[in-house]
Structure 1
Amino acid sequence: MRTIIAGTLALLFSLVAHAGSVLKMDAKDAAGKTQPFETYYAQDGMLRIDRMDAHGGITGTTLVRDGVVWEIDPAGRTYTRVDSASVGEFAGASANKMEAMIASLPPEKRAMMEARMAQMKQKSASTQYTFTDTGRTDHVGSYACKIWEEQKSGQPFGQFCVVPSSSLPGGAELETSLKKATATAGQIIASVPMLAPHAEHITRLGQMNGFPARARISGGDEHVLTSAQAQSLPADKFAIPQGFTERKLGERE
């Protein structure tokens, strides 16, 4: 009997120790109306972010695992691989196509287009997101959190009430997955710095040392953590759905 009890306890401890983290965020508008927004899944160093419609249906998924970001489109039943190699290839092909198009223009229009492209590159290069720990604290539900402010190119952009990952259910798994996801995004951005603004929703998670239980983005809704659970997640939660086809980065339907 003691052996059975000891074995059962060991099994239960193993399941809890390796349980993933499931975090649900709702969007709240100025009138206080809420609706589903995102669900985060973290386990074994992998991160999945589901974007939701007003009824809780999944409109898109970002999956980060093994040094690759996968963008999954449920409606089109497609997935796209995003890593340093695919981003570099896409950026190179786009640049070559643009150069060929500009070269075919009359001199006056060519000069105007070149000036416009230079302005766009300069604007993209100067777009930086910075984060400041204000030293203030607040509460979101039962969680105590630190208030961080985000600036975009020196201008106020967002405010986040950040909870230490370790204080959330499945916190150890969440912390590991967030670190790996931000490292992956950082590697991709390093290959094409102009993409930094598009990865900001991932890279911000690594800069605030925790998870935002509340997010207020300039000109948008408030996003609030409404559910946090520790769950042992199946492997297919972090896999490309069966029957989906690959769509190359930049490829149109």
Structure 2
Amino acid sequence: MRYLWRAAGAAAVLGLATVAGVASADTTLTYVGASGQYKVYITPDAVRIDGDGSGWQLYKKDDPAIFSVSPSDRTYTRLDKDTAGEIRHQLDALRARIENRLQQIPADRRPAARAAMAEKIPALDGGSQSVGLDHTGATDTVDGISCNVIQIVRDGRPANKMCVAEAGALGISDDSFDTVKSMFALLHDMLESTGLEGIGLPYRDLSGMPVRFVDSVSGERRELAAVSHDPIADRRFAIPDSYVEQKLQTPSPGG
């Protein structure tokens, strides 16, 4: 299941930044935070997200799926609507097995045991998690770019905060921005009814991109470092033929 967390976590990684300018078909964004440097490559056809490690995520508009690529072991996983459906069924079965196991221990120990399992398996309770946006009305400037301060709300409670600039002010073309939105729409649809909805961020509801992102738990900030509109080579969005596909896996009750 770590690959599913990684794919869903792509939404959280995209605390992006850029500079104002003429809209370009291709955009490479580099941004930094305490955990390291990230790069995001955007074209009208694809999006690639590189984290601070060697792994990266890939989305292609003509092949609705999110790939998690691991160069260290030369493997990749594919998450699409079909595999998401399989995972949804596996999670339901897993919850049933865990609940059966919990019923076999003394009642006074169940709450602690359930909480311990929930830390390992965020989707344990299966309940839908609401994630919304509170447009605060406040504005700020990041590296000379005007942005709107937006509070993310999870299950009615304030969570992460970001400052969002309009896509047109960022120099990202309409076609490229549509591809980013289609990626997050796909992720939302795949996570729906899994209990994992809260992992992602509601970027599909934004009219622009975050230029600052502040994590509510760690306090980490990610902000603009550099931007380029140079053409991006097609090979940047190609998974090497020698890489082997691995199937997504759900966690077991034991960990």
CA positional deviation for 1:186: 2.3
3-state DSSP of counterpart to 2:85: helix
Aligned partner of 1:9 in structure 2 is none
State which of 210, 213, 217 in structure 2 corresponds to 1:212: 210
3-state DSSP of counterpart to 2:180: helix
| Letter paired with 1:234 | A
Contact map agreement 1:131 1:208 (CA 8 A) in 2: no
Aligned partner of 1:131 in structure 2 is 133
Aligned partner of 2:74 in structure 1 is 77
Contact map agreement 1:165 1:174 (CA 8 A) in 2: no
Between the two structures, name the one with larger relative contact order (CA 8 Å, sep ≥ 6): 2
Identity %: 23
| Letter paired with 1:20 | D
Contact map agreement 2:28 2:39 (CA 8 A) in 1: yes
Aligned partner of 1:59 in structure 2 is 54
Query: Which 4+ residue blocks in structure 1 deviate beyond 4 angstroms?
Result: 97-103, 110-113, 119-124
Deviation track 1:193-233 (CA, whole Å, cap 9, x = no partner) reads 312123x1xx4322222111111111221000111221211
Distance in 2, matches of 1:49 and 1:110, equals: 46
Aligned partner of 1:68 in structure 2 is 65
State which of 28, 31, 40 in structure 2 corresponds to 1:25: 31
How many residues are treated as equivalent by the alignment?
220
Root mean square deviation, CA, Å? 3.2
State which of 84, 89, 102 in structure 2 corresponds to 1:87: 84
State which of 135, 144, 166 in structure 1 corresponds to 2:168: 166
- Alignment of 1:108 with 2:104, yes or no, is yes
Structure 2, unpaired ranges of 5+: 1-21
Higher Cα Rg, which structure: 1
Deviation track 1:39-87 (CA, whole Å, cap 9, x = no partner) reads 11111232111101xxxxx432121222111111222221101011112
3-state DSSP of counterpart to 2:174: helix
Contact map agreement 1:102 1:110 (CA 8 A) in 2: no
Contact map agreement 1:50 1:62 (CA 8 A) in 2: yes
Contact map agreement 1:19 1:233 (CA 8 A) in 2: no
Distance in 2, matches of 1:149 and 1:155, equals: 10
Aligned partner of 2:235 in structure 1 is 236
| Letter paired with 1:42 | I
Contact map agreement 2:129 2:196 (CA 8 A) in 1: no
Aligned partner of 1:40 in structure 2 is 40
Q: Aligned pair in 2 of structure 1 residues 233, 215: CA closer, same or farther (>3 Å)?
A: same
TM-score by length of 1: 0.74
Contact map agreement 1:128 1:152 (CA 8 A) in 2: yes
Distance in 2, matches of 1:27 and 1:226, equals: 10
Aligned partner of 1:175 in structure 2 is 177
| Letter paired with 1:217 | D
